Each structure stands twice: as C-alpha cells, then as structure tokens.
C-alpha cells in the first residue's frame, strides 16, 4: 500500500509518477491533472483513476489538498479542489526521476537502443 512506500527506494507506479509530474509546476485541479497525465503518459485516463491516485498519494503524504485559488479560471476555481505536492512528494518525484535517468543511462551504455532513436 501507498503508506508503506519509502520514497527513496521504491519505484513509483506510472500513474503516480505522471500525477506528480503534473503537479511539479504547482497546484492544479483534477481536470488539469487528468489532461496533463493523458498528455505525458500518452494514455487517456479518467477522473476515477486521477482522484483515486490523488487520494492514495495524500494518504502517503506526497500530495495535499490546498485552498482553492481564485487565479486563472475564476469560475471553476471557486468550485474545485486543488492539489499540490508536499516536500515529501517532491523528494519522491526527484528520486524517481534520478532512478529513471539512471536506468536510461544504463540502457544507453549497454547500447540496448540505437542513439537518436
């Protein structure tokens, strides 16, 4: 379960990774996260997946709900829950990023993929 995860060692699931990526630039509401995840992962995700993931990230202390902001889309800002990354979340994301990057280096060093695709 999410709350037993130690952010420095365990790899993140793809859904978690992409949600954290979506929150890297700041607090966002569910729909924006959904669109961002769809874009970065290349897989169409729906609200249920997004909020489920958010809830588990929240339980693990990686994400928190923040006060609604009035900036941007004023109308919907009023009515939407916003989520932002905690310090722990940011640490987990960068740990994951380093891990992925190391793996990518490894793959390249062993010439498992051709350079420049």
- Minimal distance, residue 34 CB to other proteins, in Å: 6
Q: Which stretch binds other proteins (CB under 8 A): 25-33, 89-97, 98-106, 107-115?
A: 25-33
Nearer to other proteins, 24 or 68 (CB): 68
> Which span (5-13, 24-32, 89-97, 100-108) binds other proteins, by CB under 8 A?
24-32
From the list 49, 17, 14, the residue with the least C-alpha distance to 34 is 49
Number of C-alpha atoms within 13 angstroms, CB side, residue 25? 7
30 binds other proteins (CB under 8 A): yes
Sort strands 82-85 and 28-29 into parallel, antiparallel or unpaired: antiparallel
Burial of 83 (0-12, 13-18, 19+ CB in 10 A): buried
- Whichever of 30 and 61 has its CB closer to other proteins, that residue is 30
Residues 49-68 that bind other proteins (CB under 8 A): 49-52, 55-56, 68
Q: Strand, helix or coil at 29?
A: strand
8 Å CB contact between 77 and 55: no
Contacts with other proteins, residue ranges (CB under 8 A): 1, 29-31, 34-35, 44-52, 55-56, 68, 73-76, 78-81
């Amino acid at each position: 379960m999410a709350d037993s995860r130690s952010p420095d060692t365990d790899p993140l699931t793809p859904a978690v990774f992409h949600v954290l990526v979506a929150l890297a630039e700041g607090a966002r509401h569910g729909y924006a996260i959904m669109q961002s995840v769809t874009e970065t992962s290349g897989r169409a995700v729906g609200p249920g997946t997004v909020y489920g993931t958010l809830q588990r990230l929240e339980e693990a202390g990686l994400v928190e709900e923040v006060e609604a902001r009035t900036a941007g889309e004023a109308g919907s800002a009023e009515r939407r829950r916003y989520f932002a990354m905690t310090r722990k979340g940011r640490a987990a994301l960068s740990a994951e990023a380093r891990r992925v990057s190391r793996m990518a280096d490894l793959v390249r060093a062993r010439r498992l993929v051709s350079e420049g695709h």
